[in-house]
């Protein structure tokens, strides 16, 4: 079937229409929760498709492009999905991309306002006049909600903010890079240069990436898959893939020559070496998503270059096996435990996986259930959250630490936050938070009496019952507090925002009722 530009233009129109429909659904869902999304952002998102339509016309009429448009349409579909999820997140007043104490307080306040709006709407629609009067509301009969009569919290996005926003400028720069790369790669001289120097291109790309990684490791600035709060390796993906494709163009004929169904080692080893190079830095960065991207793209490039089925099966099967082992090992315990011996077999692989990978898989399967506080990959984030958001409670229980912290110039402000302190004070607070949480975890996990406890057991049965009840109550109170802190930390983690958006849209029905699933 011939790939016609007119057919893909029609597909693009359908994608734009679906994007507009999705943004309206998000806008309507927001009104249900008492706030308004930015219609300027919605219009901006739709206008971003205009340059893409212009590209199609330019490529067909000016450059006489006669290739396959499937990749272009697939990229456009992914772009539209990204716009939808971005619109969902950044139009929500609860989404505050910051870890400061004030940001956490604003986030909690926005969540409470949304919950209150939902509760009041349910009361108006379902409670009788008598019940409403008891609650101090106007004694009106149950009536369907009319969003047109309500006054939602308006969006704060202005035209100036929109024009100079990264969500506007970054796509425009990407479009310019796309058309530039298209014109560049139409030249045979450029293709020959890359084909003859693919390995050198990969090595040159690897040097600044490794230097940045080394600097981040020495300064402990790798967090949540980012270096210094950024992801500078995104650009490195392009040279890596170009280098692999260049090597394939040289070796693909030799790969078809097999011995007992296998290609010669002198042809396979360079290809495997080239494929492994990008995996090493991304494994250190714990960016499992990038590893999956590279594995998938490498498999596709190999399938395109090599036509014989045995070679395809060997390569793709090997890649699929490695990915399957990593994925099964990273599954949450609730998924592994029902399968006999799976958790035991997966334990060695799970122990060497970076925490970020375990976190991602847990989010995919158990996003709405906080992990236990003593979970290895989660405990560090929990300690960090506790130190940042509950530092007053920590200081109340530690007089020596309070005196040391009060000497810090950052505490001279009445409303000082964790980030106002110097590094030494922050480290002291984090250490105290870690010790306090460890003690709470130890108490809540303990089930048996220690020898010291037995030695102090009262002989009087009534007195023994009182002591036991007091101990059980104290343990229950500590467990309740620990669970509350754990839940608060989990649902305020920025890594969960994307999962909330996706789960909320998919579970919300036609009106987006499940947007956020209670934590929108």
pLDDT digits (tens, 9 = 90+) for 153-207: 888 888 888 888 888 998 999 999 999 989 988 888 888 888 788 778 777 777 7
Look at residue 216 in the predicted model and tell me its pLDDT. 63
**Contact call for residues 264 and 257 (beta carbons, < 8 A):** yes
What is the band of 504 on the pLDDT scale with cuts at 50, 70, 90? very low
Task: Please compute the mean of the pLDDT values over residues 406-433 and round it to a whole number.
Answer: 79
- Start-to-end CA distance of the chain, whole Å, equals 45
Average pLDDT, the chain: 77
Contacts of 386-389 with CB under 8 Å at 24 or more apart are 386/433, 386/436, 386/437, 386/485, 386/489, 387/418, 387/426, 387/429, 387/430, 387/432, 387/433, 387/434, 388/99, 388/100, 388/101, 388/104, 388/417, 388/418, 388/419, 389/101, 389/104, 389/418, 389/488, 389/489
Alpha carbon distance 32, 20 (integer Å): 19
For residue 304, count other CB atoms closer than 10 A to its CB. Answer: 11
pTM: 0.62
Within 13 Å of residue 237, how many CA atoms lie on the same side as its CB? Answer: 17
Q: Higher model confidence: residue 287 or residue 135?
A: 135
């Amino acid at each position: 079937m011939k790939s016609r530009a007119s057919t893909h233009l029609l597909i693009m129109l359908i994608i734009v229409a679906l994007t507009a429909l999705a943004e309206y659904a998000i806008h309507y869902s927001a009104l249900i929760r008492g706030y308004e999304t930015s219609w300027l952002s919605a219009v901006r998102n739709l206008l971003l498709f205009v340059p893409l339509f212009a590209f199609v016309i330019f490529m067909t009429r000016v450059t006489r492009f006669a290739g396959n448009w499937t990749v272009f349409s697939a990229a456009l579909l992914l772009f539209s999905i990204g716009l939808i999820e971005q619109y969902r997140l950044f139009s929500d007043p609860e989404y505050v991309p910051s870890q400061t104490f004030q940001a956490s307080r604003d986030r909690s306040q926005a969540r409470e306002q949304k919950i209150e709006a939902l509760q009041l709407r349910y009361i108006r629609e379902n409670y009788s006049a008598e019940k409403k009067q008891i609650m101090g509301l106007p004694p009106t009969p149950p009536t369907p909600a009319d969003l047109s009569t309500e006054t939602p919290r308006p969006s704060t996005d202005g035209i100036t903010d929109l024009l100079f926003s990264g969500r506007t400028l970054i796509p425009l720069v990407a479009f310019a890079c796309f058309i530039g790369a298209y014109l560049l790669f139409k030249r045979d001289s450029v293709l020959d240069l890359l084909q003859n120097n693919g390995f050198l291109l990969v090595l040159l790309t690897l040097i600044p990436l490794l230097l940045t990684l080394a600097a981040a490791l020495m300064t402990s600035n790798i967090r949540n898959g980012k270096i210094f709060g950024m992801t500078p390796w995104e650009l490195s993906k392009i040279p890596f893939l170009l280098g692999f494709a260049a090597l394939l163009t040289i070796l693909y004929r030799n790969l078809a020559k097999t011995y007992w169904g296998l290609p010669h080692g002198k042809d396979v080893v360079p290809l495997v070496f080239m494929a492994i190079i990008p995996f090493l830095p991304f494994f250190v960065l714990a960016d499992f998503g990038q590893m999956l991207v590279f594995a998938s793209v490498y498999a596709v490039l190999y399938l395109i270059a090599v036509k014989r089925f045995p070679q395809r099966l060997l390569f793709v099967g090997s890649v699929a096996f490695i990915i399957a082992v990593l994925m099964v090992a990273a599954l949450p315990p609730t998924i592994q435990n029902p399968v006999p011996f799976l958790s035991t077999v997966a334990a060695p692989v799970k122990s060497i996986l970076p925490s970020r990978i375990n976190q991602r898989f847990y989010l995919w399967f158990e996003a709405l259930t906080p992990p236990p506080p003593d979970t290895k990959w989660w405990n560090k984030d929990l300690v960090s959250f506790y130190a940042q958001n509950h530092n007053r409670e920590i200081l109340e229980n530690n007089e020596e630490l309070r005196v040391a912290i009060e000497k810090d110039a950052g505490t001279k402000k009445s409303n000082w936050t964790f980030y106002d302190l110097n590094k030494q004070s922050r480290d002291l607070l984090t250490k105290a938070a870690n010790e306090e949480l460890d003690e709470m975890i130890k108490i809540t996990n303990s089930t048996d009496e220690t020898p010291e406890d037995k030695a102090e057991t009262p002989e009087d049965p009534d007195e023994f019952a009182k002591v036991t009840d007091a101990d059980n109550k104290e343990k229950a109170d500590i467990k309740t507090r620990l669970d509350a802190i754990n839940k608060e930390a989990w649902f305020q983690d920025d890594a969960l925002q994307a999962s909330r958006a996706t789960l909320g849209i998919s579970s919300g029905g036609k009106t987006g009722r499940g947007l956020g699933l209670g934590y929108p």
